[in-house]
Amino acid sequence: MKKVYRQLLNFLMAAAVLIGAGTIVNTKMSQASGDEKQDAKAGTMEVHFIDVGQGDSTLITCEGHAMLIDTGEATKGTAIQNYLQKQKIDKLDYLILTHPDSDHIGGAPVIITKFQIDKVFTSNYEKDNKTYMKLIQALDNKRLKQTTPKVGTKYSLGTAEFTILAPNNTYRNPNDASIALLLQNGKNRFLFTGDAEEDAEQDILENGLDISADVYKAGHHGSRTATSEKFFEAVSPSSAVISCGEDNSYGHPHAQTLNTFRMNGVKVYRTDEEGTIIATSDGEKITFSVPESDTWQAGEPNGTGAVWNHTKPSAGKSEAAKDEVTYILNTKSNKFHKPSCNALPEDENREDSSESRSSIIEQGYEPCKRCNP
Ligand SMILES: [Zn+2]
Ligand SMILES: [Zn+2]
C-alpha cells in the first residue's frame, strides 16, 4: 500500500512539474519560476534514480544537459526511453555503462538506438555473452566509440561536474571493474560506484581522491560485498539511495549495509519500496521527492545469495534458472566447489557463481579436490 501511495505522489508531483514549468531545467516545486538568474553559480541539478526493478539506471539533468548512468535489464530499455522522453530529453551528453552485467547494460541498445549521444563511457571489462554483443552491435550501428575514462578526469554537465574515480585496475570480477564517479553541483556531492565491491573500494581509497559525499548511491544494490567500513567512513554520506528490485533473489539490500546506515544516521531511500526517486540540488541543499524509508528491511535471498555474475544466463537457460548457483568460488585460494562441498570458503572469500564449469576454469579457478566439481 505504502509503495502505491508513494508512487502516486511521485506521479502527481511529476505531472505538476510538467504543467507548471514546461522546461526540463526549472523543475523545482518549491521555488517560484522566473528567478533562475540568482547570485549562486550552481543551477538546478536533478538526479533521477529510476525504478528499473533489480538493476540500476540513474538520469542526471542540469541546465538542459543530461547524462544516464546504466540502463537496467534489457526488459527495461523501453521504460527508460519513455521516462527520458517524458523529461523532454532527446540527447544525452554522456551514457555511462558502469560494468557489463545485464542489470546495468541490458537496456542500453534501446537507449543508443533512440537517442543522440555525445560520449559513451564503458568499463575496461569485456564479456562474450549475448547481452554484451548486443551493446557492441548497437554502438557500431550508430558509429559510436566507447572509451574507458581515466581516473581523475573531470567532465562538465551544465553547472555540475563529475570526476572519474574508477576503475583503477583490471579485475577478474566484473563488479569491481565498475566505473565510479563523484558528481558535484555547487556544494552538493553525489557518489556513484556501480557494483564495485571491497577490492575496488580499497583501490579507490588508495588513489587519494576526495570521495566524501552528501548522497551515496549504495554500491552493488546495498549488498554486503560493497560499502566496506573504511570506504563508508571516507564517504560519510548523509543520505543513501538503494536501487534494487522488490523481492529480488540476491537478498539486496543486506542487513549489514542497512545497519551501517542506520547506526550512522544516514537517511535511506529505496527504489524497491518507493519507486523512482528524484533528488534535486540547487548547489546548496538537496531535496528528495519521497520521504526517507523507515522499514530497515533487508532483502531475503531465495536460497541463492548469488553475489557475482548474478545475471549471466548461459544460452538456452530459462529466465527462472539464471540465478541458480552452480558453483561456490574461493577468491583467495582460487578453488571452486560444489555448493554441497563440506569445505566451503569463509564468507569474506566466498563468491557464489551461476556460471558454467568451463567459464569458471577460464577465469583461473581450479576444482576442489574433495568435491570434484
Ligand atoms: Zn548490479
Ligand atoms: Zn554487477
Q: What are 212-268's pLDDT values in tens digits?
A: 999 999 999 999 999 999 999 999 999 999 999 999 999 999 999 999 999 999 999
For range 300-320, the mean pLDDT: 44
Between CA 298 and CA 349 the distance in angstroms is 22
Whether the per-residue pLDDT at 209 is higher than 60: the answer is yes
Distance 98 CA to ligand 1 centre (A): 9
Ligand 1 center from residue 32 Cα (angstroms):
38
Sheet of 188-192: strands edge to edge? 154-157, 160-166, 180-185, 188-192, 215-217, 239-242, 267-270
Q: What does residue 202 show for φ and ψ, rounded to 5 degrees?
A: -60, -45
Assign 155 a pLDDT band (cuts: 50, 70, 90).
very high
The CB-side HSE value for 333 (13 A sphere, CA atoms) comes to: 15
Percentage of the chain beyond pLDDT 90 is: 70
Surrounding ion ligand 2 within 5 Å at CB are: 101, 175, 195
Ligand 1: centre distance to CA 207 (Å) = 24
Cell of 1: 500500500
Q: How far apart are the first and last CA of the chain?
A: 46
pLDDT in tens, 159-183: 999 999 999 999 999 999 999 999 9
Nearest to 69 by CA among 189, 187, 190: 190
Q: What is the mean pLDDT of the chain?
A: 87
CA of 221 to the centre of ligand 1 (A): 6
Question: With 90 as the cut, is the pLDDT of residue 346 above it?
Answer: no
Cβ-contact 55, 73 below 8 angstroms: yes
Q: Give the separation between CA 276 and CA 241, rounded to whole angstroms.
A: 11
Q: Where are the domains of the chain?
A: 45-321, 325-367
The stretch 6-12 carries a mean pLDDT of 60
Dump strand ranges (E) for 88-179. 91-97, 116-122, 146-147, 154-157, 160-166
* CA 96 to centroid of ligand 2, rounded, Å: 14
Give the C-alpha separation, 151 to 124, whole Å: 12
Higher pLDDT, 79 or 304: 79
Measured from the alpha carbon of residue 125, the closest ligand is 2
CATH of the domain spanning 45-321, picked from 3.60.15.10, 3.40.50.150, 3.40.50.300, 3.30.450.40 = 3.60.15.10
